[in-house]
Amino acid sequence: MPSLFARLIGLIALVLLLGAMMLGWAAWIYARVAADEAYDRLLVGAALQIAESVAAEPGRVTVDPPISAFEMLAMAVDDRIFYRVVDPRGETLTGQADLPSARSDTRPGREPALLDGQYRGFPVRIVTLGRFITGPDLAGWVEVTVAQTRIARLGLARDLTFKALLLVLGMSTFALIGVVIAVRRALRPLDQVEAVLKARDPKDLSPVELETPREIRPLVEAINHFLGRHSERISSMERFIADAAHQIRTPLTALAAQVELLSTETRAERQRSQISRVRERTDELGRLTGQLLSHAMVIHRREVVPLEPVDLVPLVRAALTEAVPLSLDRDIRISFRAEQPAMIVSGDRVSIREAVANVIHNAARHGAPGELSVTLSAAQSGARVTIEDDGRGIPEAFWPEVTKPFVRGPNGEASLGTGSGLGLAIAADVLSAHGGALSFAFTRGGHFVVELQFPGLHAGPDLEAYSSIHDAAGPESWPKRAFPASRRRKKRAP
């Protein structure tokens, strides 16, 4: 695209050119009118002089056109002059008998009539006027018609138009020069903004502090807004990378130490114990790495992925299915229930599933010793996913802190003593990006509850069809049939 300066100058020059063309056309029309008025006076004067030379004599009308009448018209050396004098009986006394009259009616009069016409192939200007004469035996109107070609008139009109165009073009040129200077000065604040940005250090993301005109202020504000968002994004990435490096360094150091011990251990029983610890450390490191990647993925998708309709029922059911194998090493009852067969919200499917899976994983791995239930319900402002377990839970004093990355809770809490501290942080980030909220509570029975609230619940498109299939079984039975009420390695005593 051309520069803003070139576009402004081009647009203004086009406006000036159109204005000059319109003024030139107006000057041409005015010049023709002025030329006609000037030469019409000469033409009427010549016709009046010829009319004054008409005399009535006994039995006839005489006319003696004066030379002065034609001398005035002869000043236009390139023009031709025609005239005609008609007596009261309609007979031509002198001049060209075929010269037409300028009057449109047959009534004579003293007032001159002017008309543009053609005569013998020439464009002419014609004037006709009358004079009333009386004699011994004759009385009536004598009609005098004089015509002149338009060469001199057109020449005068061209000369006037040319001089007017010279004046218009001169003024337009001076105006364009003034506009160039004014636009260059008006765009100088943009050059200042450019200079300030070019002179900045690449690490300097502070707002641009520059006095600018009102029209450029939104641009500077937009730049500052972008710099602010970019600074927040970079700061968040730097904090995440620093925390991730710190969190990964600790299990890697422990894993290296255990591998070193294993390499020097000779007793079989101690080797098996060391191998078990290495396996545990490897699992923790894999889980930590996976959650770090999930956290980075959630942060990235929050900025670039558009929201779409998401049905929470199959999504939460799939997340629960993935978390179930984590509980197979102990006797635990897992249940799933949804109030509606389809609960649709606007969101990012991948991020929502990651958030739900992390909360369920935390509950199954660190919270629930014997029971874990997941419930989907319709809240006043949207949909709610409730994850409840019978574990000790998180003390209320630590609820504001556990949604921050790498926060594992107070020392000595069995439910919070292990893990990466990223599960609830991922869930909180996803809920914040969707306009929802992550909250904690304790039931009257002492169970710990984590609620994920999503705004904007919509009725599912397959709600009627799904309900008709499960009407016979009742609303309480279809979720349990869609997902088993419990999965456990050993049969639990009633």
- What is the chain's mean pLDDT, rounded? 79
d(CA 264, CA 261): 5
Report the 10 Å Cβ neighbour count for 43.
Answer: 22
Instruction: Tell which wins on pLDDT, 175 or 292.
Output: 175
Indicate the range of 8-22, 28-42, 85-99, 285-299 predicted with least confidence.
285-299
pLDDT value at position 330? 67
What the block records as the tokens of 105 is: 């009616």
Here the CATH number for the domain that contains residue 435 is 3.30.565.10
Say yes or no: 444 and 315 in one domain: yes
Count helices and strands in the chain by DSSP H and E runs: 11, 15
Q: Extract the runs of DSSP E, i.e. beta strands, from 40-102.
A: 54-57, 60-63, 81-86, 92-95
Count up the domains in the chain and report the number.
Answer: 3
Domain boundary among 158, 175, 192: 158
Here the CATH number for the domain that contains residue 88 is 3.30.450
What the block records as the tokens of 205 is: 């993301």
Cα–Cα nearest to 336, from 488, 155, 172, 486: 486
pLDDT in tens, 119-166: 988 999 999 999 988 877 778 889 999 999 999 889 999 999 999 999
Tell me, yes or no, whether 164 lies in a domain.
no
d(CA 33, CA 29): 6
Tell me, yes or no, whether 108 lies in a domain.
yes
DSSP state of 366: I
Say yes or no: 263 and 326 in one domain: no
Say yes or no: 286 and 402 in one domain: no
Domain boundary among 304, 331, 355: 304
pLDDT in tens, 251-281: 777 777 778 777 777 777 777 887 887 887 7
Say yes or no: 213 and 127 in one domain: no
Look up the domain containing 317 and give its range: 306-482
pLDDT class of 351 with cuts at 50, 70, 90: confident
pLDDT class of 353 with cuts at 50, 70, 90: confident
pLDDT class of 283 with cuts at 50, 70, 90: confident
Tell me, yes or no, whether 114 lies in a domain.
yes
Say yes or no: 362 and 449 in one domain: yes
Tell me, yes or no, whether 322 lies in a domain.
yes
Burial of 433 (0-12, 13-18, 19+ CB in 10 A): buried
Say yes or no: 327 and 281 in one domain: no
Tell me, yes or no, whether 379 lies in a domain.
yes
d(CA 165, CA 284): 88
pLDDT in tens, 419-448: 556 778 888 888 888 888 899 999 888 889
Instruction: Kindly report whether the global pTM for this prediction surpasses the value 0.75.
Output: no
Tell me, yes or no, whether 198 lies in a domain.
no
- In the predicted model, is pLDDT for residue 410 greater than 80? no
pLDDT value at position 304? 66
Say yes or no: 136 and 25 in one domain: yes
Tell me, yes or no, whether 178 lies in a domain.
no
Say yes or no: 299 and 311 in one domain: no
pLDDT value at position 250? 64
Cα–Cα nearest to 81, from 169, 151, 143: 151
Domain boundary among 304, 331, 359: 304
Phi-psi region of 490 (alpha: psi -120 to 50; beta: other; left: phi over 0): beta
